[in-house]
Amino acid sequence: MAKIVSIAPILVDTGIIYALADRSDSWHVRARTFVETFKGALVIPSMVIPEACYLLQTHLSPLAETAFVKSIINRALRLEHVDEEDLSRAVELMDAYPDLKIGLVDASVVAVAERLNISAIMTTDRRHFSVIRPKNCAAFTLLPE
């Protein structure tokens, strides 16, 4: 009987989206290499989309923004909608870490990770995600290394 291997999904944060699109970004090679070799689901919380679109259009081009949106439509990234409970948890996190100034997008990434029981986040933001203590695990695994 064939062995079935399950690869846990990973949440994707805004910085990685930008790094994948910008070849001059210091995270580009690490992010691209990881994405090209990872065989599991890459999940993007809906709150990440507007922030990523703004950065891509403002700092790169409208074509970069469009390519990103197409990657969601084509299911290279699995879209996960942020619901009211996630927003409530995000506000709790923002209140719990006022000195970090984590903001709604990062807090919603944590909330979605907790709800989906995901312990790995693909991010360039080590400052926020290394400090926040999620409910679903002792600490997040931050990727790529």
Residue 51 domain flag: yes
Q: Domain range for residue 45?
A: 10-143
**What pLDDT does 145 receive?**
86
**CATH number of the domain residue 77 falls in:** 3.40.50.1010
Q: CA 129, CA 119: separation in Å to the nearest integer?
A: 11
Q: CA 49, CA 104: separation in Å to the nearest integer?
A: 13
- Give, for all 145 residues of the chain, the pLDDT tens digit: 555 445 899 999 999 999 999 999 999 999 999 999 999 999 999 999 999 999 999 999 999 999 999 999 999 999 999 999 999 999 999 999 999 999 999 999 999 999 999 999 999 999 999 999 999 999 999 999 8
Residue 131 domain flag: yes
What are the tokens at 74? Answer: 């084509």
**Sequence-distant (≥ 6) Cβ neighbours of residue 139 within 8 angstroms:** 130, 133
CB 120 within 8 A of CB 8: yes
Please state the three-class secondary structure of 49-61 as a single string: HHHHHHHHHHHCC
Q: CA 9, CA 31: separation in Å to the nearest integer?
A: 16
Q: CA 94, CA 144: separation in Å to the nearest integer?
A: 25
Number of domains in the chain: 1
Residue 3 domain flag: no
Residue 2 domain flag: no
